[in-house]
Amino acid sequence: MVRIAGRFKGDVQVDGNVSLDAGARLEGQVKAHVVSVGGELIGNIDNAKRVELLETGVINGDVKAGSLTVGAGSRMRGQVEFGYEGESRAKSDTKGFGNAMNVASRPVAAGKTRTCPHCKATILESLSICPGCLHHLRFDQRRRSARSRPPQRCVWRG
């Protein structure tokens, strides 16, 4: 395991783990199995199995990892690709939402919107997956409002 607690300029390639402590600064590319960022990283992380961006962490660069954990309050500027460990992907699949926007949809009036029940984002009604949270949405043929639901019965058992 390599632990960086100060300032370092240069590439880091480790057959193990790299830890960048809070207050530390690394300018360079990182290649390691597990990368933990608590300080500031200016550079890319390539082909890591796991990347942990801690609450005090800042990344200015691209990240490619098998999994990514992001702490509240952390910051990042760059592109992220995770969950594709060992897969080779076509260049056209890495832009935007990938296949999330190419799923089955239904014909509706142009521009008609609805609210995602999971993240409360406003999205197009024709989408079957919310692009914000990737929640799978249902297409109800009969849209039921709160008034159209049958009244619930209260049963008193005393």
List Cβ neighbours of 74 (8 Å cut-off, separation of 6 or more).
Answer: 37, 53, 54, 55, 56, 57, 58
Give the model confidence (pLDDT) of 43-94 as tens digits.
999 989 999 999 999 999 999 999 999 988 899 999 999 887 655 444 444 4
Three-state secondary-structure class, residue 148: helix
pLDDT digits (tens, 9 = 90+) for 89-138: 444 444 444 444 333 444 555 567 778 787 887 777 766 777 777 777 76
Q: Structure tokens of 87?
A: 């897969």
**Virtual CA dihedral for 18, 58, 46, 92, nearest 10 degrees?**
160
Residue 62 has what pLDDT? 94
Q: What is the pLDDT of residue 119?
A: 80
Q: What is the DSSP string of 12-28?
A: EE-SSEEEE-TT-EEES
Confirm whether pTM is higher than 0.75. no
